[in-house]
Amino acid sequence: MAPVRGEQLPGFLDVVETWLAGREWFPARTGRRSLRRVGGQRLPTPEGEPDAGLVLEVHLLEVEHDGVRDLVSVPVALRTRPSALAGKDAFIGTLRTDDGERWLYDGARDQAFLAAWLEMARRRRGTRDGRAHGRAFADFAEHTPFTGRLRRSPMAGEREDVARTVVTADAGHGVDDEDAVVVDVLRRPEEGRSTALETALTLTQAGSRSVAPVLGLVGGAWRTSDDRWAGGDLAVLRGRGCLGEQARDAARTALREETPLVETARALGRGLGTFHADLAGALGAHPQTARQLSTMAQDARRTLAEQWRDVAERFDEEEQAEIGEVVDTLEMELREADEPKMLQHIHGDLDMTRLRGVEEAGGTRWIVSEQGGMVEHALPLRDVVTVLISLADAVMEQVEEAPDASVNYARWYDDASRALLAGYRSSDADAAGVDSVFFRAGMLSEAFDLFARWGGRWVFRPSMLIQTES
């Protein structure tokens, strides 16, 4: 059978373009556009693949539309016969060659292509020109080799431009297998690496168990519009921890069943604290300067005053007096704050959807999904505040759905939030931040915002006043 290169086959780009136009993640689904191949790679056929004429390729295409240039990655499997294993959702189209018809499939869902990319990372293979490479981390190099008979389970990715598939070697049993690997194929790769992924990789290499480990990376290179070579990640291989149940779902289940969240909340707090401790150990932490402390105190006072002013009239006179007294006390304490806090790398946008449960023999271990954002030189208490407010928001959703339930929502939230803080303090994290006036002021400011968003209702009476005064 004569050698085949996808981009040299008549109609190849036309078929690919038609398929791309139907993808939600494609940046130019309508209007005028042009495609140009700017890079790619060819992969060896994995062992155990019955199609002797199979060709596996990655095509990096520059899409020009409306004066904008975007990059898309199109991994493909060119087969000599239809593949029931790839699935109809992965079918791109057919092409005619001198040897007959070829069936073109999306490599992000094709068993053989996934096996080839996994082996590229597991064996740390690279191309001779150095423009494509696989890298293995943690213990991935010792994993069982992947063949064309691997087991795969397509799933929805955390973003629409990421194709996620869970795979195990052919001896595996599926998604719950301990050796399952989550393969995220980046449909729209970017030059360099995101801060979030770099953070997860750093924690993996430091041996942290507070994130789903980065097991491997597949990188590639392409020509830019200014005729230089650029490179970035095309696929990210992660441990199965990123598939765990979201903490928000666990909270909503407990609320619907009218059961306490105390033990889960304590474990959540401990997991969050471990994450902060690991970040500080791997990336460092340092105390604020006097000027930074003064600026932070001024900002906290201003934010608290503004948020209180926006919602004060929505409380009755007795509540206004009670809460106003708490606000005045916090503002006074903020003026007198003179103890610098530790600044470090944190998540920044952490909420209950970013905490994932990993089932282990001793129970559920909660880890952090770094997706969503990372912040340099910030206070860890910010993550704690966003998690607790996210939990309060979940409670308010349940109040909206079941206002007449027998559960005391304020007490339920108060018990859960106290347990979460206790878990955080029991970790190796520096707990000085959550015991400071900045934490109490931050919680009250965000609670006022939550109060406004939920039409003058909240779950902090009387728990909020107790918490800010304790």
| Per-domain boundaries in the chain | 6-243, 245-469
| 157, HSE (Cβ side, Cα atoms, 13 Å) | 22
The crossing angle, in degrees rounded to 10, of helices 262-283 and 247-256 is 170
The pLDDT of residue 84: 72
Q: Which residues contact 82 (CB under 8 A, 6 or more apart)?
A: 103
pLDDT, mean over the chain? 91
3-state DSSP: the chain helix, strand, coil percent, rounded to 5?
Answer: 40, 25, 35
Please, which pLDDT band fits residue 1 given cuts at 50, 70 and 90? Answer: very low
The pLDDT of residue 288: 95
Question: What's the sign of the alpha-carbon dihedral 138, 139, 141, 146?
Answer: negative
Beta bridge partners of 162: 186
The yes-or-no verdict on residue 11 having pLDDT over 60 is yes
CATH number of 245-469: 3.90.1200.10
Please, which pLDDT band fits residue 68 given cuts at 50, 70 and 90? Answer: very high
The pLDDT of residue 281: 97
Averaged over 334-345, what is the pLDDT?
Answer: 94
The pLDDT of residue 469: 46
Higher pLDDT, 131 or 237: 237
The pLDDT of residue 50: 86
Averaged over 342-346, what is the pLDDT?
Answer: 96
The pLDDT of residue 351: 94
User: Tens of pLDDT along 249-303?
Assistant: 999 999 999 999 999 999 999 999 999 999 999 999 999 999 999 999 999 999 9
First to last CA, the chain: 78
In three-state secondary structure terms, 60 is strand
Please, which pLDDT band fits residue 465 given cuts at 50, 70 and 90? Answer: low
User: Tens of pLDDT along 210-256?
Assistant: 999 999 999 999 999 888 999 999 999 999 898 999 999 999 999 99
Identify the CA nearest to 370 among candidates 348, 340, 386. 348
Element housing 96 (H / E): strand 91-97
State the pTM of this model.
0.91
The pLDDT of residue 457: 86
Task: Tokens for 54, please give them.
Answer: 């199979």
User: Tens of pLDDT along 19-38?
Assistant: 999 999 999 988 899 999 99
- How far is it, in rounded angstroms, from Cα 134 to Cα 220? 9
The yes-or-no verdict on residue 62 having pLDDT over 90 is yes
The pLDDT of residue 122: 96
User: Tens of pLDDT along 151-205?
Assistant: 988 888 788 999 999 999 876 666 667 789 999 999 999 999 999 999 999 999 9
Please, which pLDDT band fits residue 2 given cuts at 50, 70 and 90? Answer: very low
The pLDDT of residue 237: 98
The pLDDT of residue 86: 65
The pLDDT of residue 175: 67
The yes-or-no verdict on residue 4 having pLDDT over 70 is no
- How far is it, in rounded angstroms, from Cα 165 to Cα 114? 9
Higher pLDDT, 86 or 139: 139
